[in-house]
Structure 1
Amino acid sequence: MIKHIFKMIWNKKKQNSLLIVEILLSFMVIFGVFSYGLNAYSNYATPMGINYKQVWAISYNHTLDTKSADSVTMVYENLLNNIKAMPQVIDAGYHSNNIPFSTNHMSGGLKYKDEVIYYINGYDVDQNFLKVTGATMASGRWYNKADAAQRGKIVVINQFLKEKMFGKEDAIGKTFGNAEGKDPVKIIGVVNSIKQEGDYQKLSYGRYNLHDTAAYKWMGKILVKVAPGSGADFEGKLYKLMANTLRKSNIEIEHLDNKLTAYNKFTVVPLIIMSIVAGFLIINVALGIFGVLWYNINKRRGEIGLRRAVGATGNGVSQQLVYEALVLTTLSLVVGTFFAVQFPLLHVFDLPAIVYVKAMLSAIVFIYLLVLVCSLYPGKQAAAVYPAVALHEE
């Protein structure tokens, strides 16, 4: 039967070519949507790395009139101590402007042996970072007060960067320099990776530097872990404390969970738009397949009647039409799979290869199910054609 179906398809190649192209284009679009969606889901399933709930971010700008470095240090250290002394505060710490779920980025490069790695996000933090965010260490240790004397000589990196640089080797005690190979630093700890850019974005390389006293003038953020139930009243008190200490400064208090929700929209909204477009395309393809098969039945009533007259069963005729649709789909998917395979080979969109493989298999199954559903009813209608009526019409 398969040989017979291929012969019939070849004899009607002009009529079938449009359907093949339509299925091919649909497969590529569905493949793209599934790739984007599966990658977003894979990133979503990755642990966040921090406990962002009940964490507030205070933004400020340096407005102190004093030029004395010691005076500046004293003001900011007293400010942090006063914040920690508030009964609703669990812990607090300074952080550079690129806090989690913000649009600020500070990236650079590093050189380990002969390999240069770029797009390393650098975060300036203090020894309170783990307690405030709930981040955990994968190996080694975090900074302590005694490390102040070694600023610029030691560093903590995240697990994602550690795997890139060392694979399964232990990173503790190893050294690397900047992109030019200068200013070497020793790794004292590896922190579990944090999804800085929201639920649906991939992990990024990160290094955590212990800030020095000169950084108070430009860091601009204080992360505060507050007790459950802290609301607008406490937020007002916190704002008043900041405003009284840093006069003329622009103070803003944000909640990390709200920032996460806002950041996630950058990923969710395009996915929704792509899904809507793909949905319309699927409807058009389904109607196209259904219409073509329906048209073929009406055009082939004489052929169907003759087949029934010489002994073909209704189910046999129905199965033939369904098989024809599936063979056409297979021809389209062979070409579509060839193009889809190029995506991981050429690193298009720089997604993991496993995402492309899963998306390709899912799109193939989806297209086959779509064509099968759309061909069942026309096939059933073909089975209901009476031989005498069809031959009489001929």
Structure 2
Amino acid sequence: MLRHLFTLIWNRKRANLLLISEIFFSFVVLFGVGTVLITAARNYLAPRGFEPTQVWRLLVRAGQGQKMPRAELDDVLRQVKALPGVQTVALTSNNLPFTFNTNNSDFIYKDRKSPFANTYDADDHYAEALRLRLREGRWFAPADDGTHHRPVVISQDLRDILFGDEPALGKIFTYNIPGKATKPEDEFQVVGVVDNVRMTTDFDEAIPSVWKRLIPYDTTHWETAAVLVRVAPDQGGVLQEKIARTVAGVTRQWSTEVRVMEDDRLHRRLYTLVPVVGLCIMGLFLIINVALGLFGVLWYNISQRRAEIGLRRAMGATGAGIGWQFLGEMMVVTTFGVILGSLLAAQFPLLNAFDLPAQPYLLAIGAAAGAVYLITALCAWQPSRLAASIQPAVALREE
């Protein structure tokens, strides 16, 4: 039976070549959309590595042309921490989670180089504010005051890249600056390792990260200070107003912006979803057009082969047999298109395209193949029923 189907397909190779081309491009589109959706879903379901709920971010700015002394800033943070409903206050850098600010660098340990990693400044209360999960060592503590090398905490993925199976705690790594001598301020000592974190959007993968300790009570003057505040459940606008008044009470020349981190997360989610939804709509529109084309071509093929169908029915073929024959022809033609599309799609995991693991690509190939077969079967079902209902006497009389 299969050999007979191949013979029929070969006899109509020009028409079937067009169908194979349509199926091939449909597969490629579905593979691309599937890869994006599977990767986004895979990242969304992965652990975030921290808890953004009940966390607010403050952006404290000095007056125009002025700076905030660190001692005065620390006094403000202590007063904010004393407010009822505030659990933890942490000073950090401006590249806060779910914002568009980024700060990244690459590092080196012996001959091992890291990709660009997100770098954050963090004080001793940062891990408590975001509830980072320690895997090794500890977070920053007063015991780190006066250390020769700047203490850092790194994420697990960066630990695996730089140190592999070696112990990481106590090791010293540096910025990757080829051709320049290493300065003491460019050397970092690992005191802890935390879980991988996803601080950009819900749909991005974890990025290697480094947290550098902010030395308390230093003499730095700040123009802008980013602060994380973990609050008790069910806190709202009243506490936000108290925080703003507390900051203004120190000096009326400072301004304060209070944002809820959960709102930032939802904003970044929407910002990420818009192009993905647009891509899905374009892919759906293309697939609908391809499906309509397949349906029309199959309908036309049946009208052109009425004499063949009538002859087969006159020789004893059943209506169901005729219907399965046309459906089988389309499945064979679809297989050719899927094979060609799979050969193209297989190059992506083989070449490690876009630095993605092989799993999303393989899942997308399987999903695209299944969707193409389903679309083809649905398009071929009604024309096959039409072929099965043709009576031999009517078909032969028309000829």
Relative to the length of structure 2, the TM-score reads: 0.93
Q: Please give the alpha-carbon distance, in whole angstroms, between the structure 2 residues aligned to 1:296 and 1:66.
A: 80
Q: 1:102 aligns with which of 93, 99, 103?
A: 99
Counterpart position of 2:129: 132
Counterpart position of 2:377: 372
Q: Please give the alpha-carbon distance, in whole angstroms, between the structure 2 residues aligned to 1:46 and 1:330.
A: 34
Shift in CA distance, 158/14, structure 1 to aligned 2, threshold 3 Å: same
1:216, distance to aligned residue in structure 2 (A): 5.5
Q: Please give the alpha-carbon distance, in whole angstroms, between the structure 1 residues aligned to 2:357 and 2:365.
A: 13
Counterpart position of 1:178: 175
Q: Please give the alpha-carbon distance, in whole angstroms, between the structure 2 residues aligned to 1:391 and 1:257.
A: 71
Counterpart position of 2:4: 4
Q: Which amino acid aligns with 2:259?
A: E
Counterpart position of 2:194: 191
How is 1:75-224 mapped onto 2 (pairs within 5 angstroms)? 75-150=72-147, 152-180=149-177, 182=182, 183-212=186-215, 213-214=218-219, 217=222, 220-224=225-229
Q: Please give the alpha-carbon distance, in whole angstroms, between the structure 2 residues aligned to 1:377 and 1:258.
A: 49
Q: 1:260 aligns with which of 243, 258, 265?
A: 265
How is 1:1-394 mapped onto 2 (pairs within 5 angstroms)? 1-63=1-63, 72-150=69-147, 152-180=149-177, 182=182, 183-212=186-215, 213-214=218-219, 217=222, 220-394=225-399
1:66, distance to aligned residue in structure 2 (A): 8.4
The number of aligned residues is: 391
Secondary structure of 1:220 counterpart: strand
Q: Please give the alpha-carbon distance, in whole angstroms, between the structure 1 residues aligned to 2:92 and 2:64.
A: 19
Secondary structure of 2:193 counterpart: strand
Alignment RMSD (CA, Å): 1.9
Unaligned runs of 5+ in 2: none
1:299, distance to aligned residue in structure 2 (A): 0.6
Q: Please give the alpha-carbon distance, in whole angstroms, between the structure 2 residues aligned to 1:105 and 1:199.
A: 16
Q: Which amino acid aligns with 1:202?
A: E
Residue identity over aligned pairs, in percent, reads 37
Deviations 1:112-142 (A, max 9, x none): 1112223111100001011111111011111
Q: Which amino acid aligns with 2:355?
A: D
Shift in CA distance, 66/383, structure 1 to aligned 2, threshold 3 Å: closer
Q: Which amino acid aligns with 2:383?
A: P
Q: Which amino acid aligns with 1:344?
A: P
Shift in CA distance, 314/215, structure 1 to aligned 2, threshold 3 Å: farther
Structure 1 stretch 295-304 or stretch 140-149: which is displaced more? 140-149
Q: Which amino acid aligns with 2:138?
A: R
Q: Please give the alpha-carbon distance, in whole angstroms, between the structure 1 residues aligned to 2:141 and 2:88.
A: 15
1:330, distance to aligned residue in structure 2 (A): 0.6
1:168, distance to aligned residue in structure 2 (A): 4.6
Q: Please give the alpha-carbon distance, in whole angstroms, between the structure 2 residues aligned to 1:342 and 1:230.
A: 52
Relative to the length of structure 1, the TM-score reads: 0.95
Q: Please give the alpha-carbon distance, in whole angstroms, between the structure 2 residues aligned to 1:382 and 1:65.
A: 83
Deviations 1:22-56 (A, max 9, x none): 11111111100110000001110111111111110
Q: Which amino acid aligns with 2:117?
A: I
Q: Please give the alpha-carbon distance, in whole angstroms, between the structure 2 residues aligned to 1:78 and 1:249.
A: 14
Q: Which amino acid aligns with 1:52?
A: P
Deviations 1:226-263 (A, max 9, x none): 11121111111111112233533342111000000011
Q: Please give the alpha-carbon distance, in whole angstroms, between the structure 2 residues aligned to 1:104 and 1:362.
A: 36
Secondary structure of 2:61 counterpart: coil
CA contact (8 A) 2:198 2:206 kept: yes
Q: Which amino acid aligns with 1:199?
A: D
Q: Which amino acid aligns with 2:5?
A: I
CA contact (8 A) 1:286 1:371 kept: yes
Secondary structure of 1:49 counterpart: coil
Q: Please give the alpha-carbon distance, in whole angstroms, between the structure 1 residues aligned to 2:155 and 2:170.
A: 15
Deviations 1:282-335 (A, max 9, x none): 211221121111111111000000011111111111111001111111111111
Deviations 1:332-360 (A, max 9, x none): 11111111011122233322211111111
Deviations 1:60-88 (A, max 9, x none): 22349888xxx923211211110111011
1:217, distance to aligned residue in structure 2 (A): 1.1
CA contact (8 A) 1:64 1:72 kept: no
CA contact (8 A) 2:98 2:261 kept: yes
CA contact (8 A) 2:201 2:268 kept: yes
Shift in CA distance, 80/327, structure 1 to aligned 2, threshold 3 Å: same
Secondary structure of 1:251 counterpart: strand
Q: Please give the alpha-carbon distance, in whole angstroms, between the structure 2 residues aligned to 1:228 and 1:151.
A: 40
Secondary structure of 1:150 counterpart: coil
Q: Please give the alpha-carbon distance, in whole angstroms, between the structure 1 residues aligned to 2:197 and 2:286.
A: 37
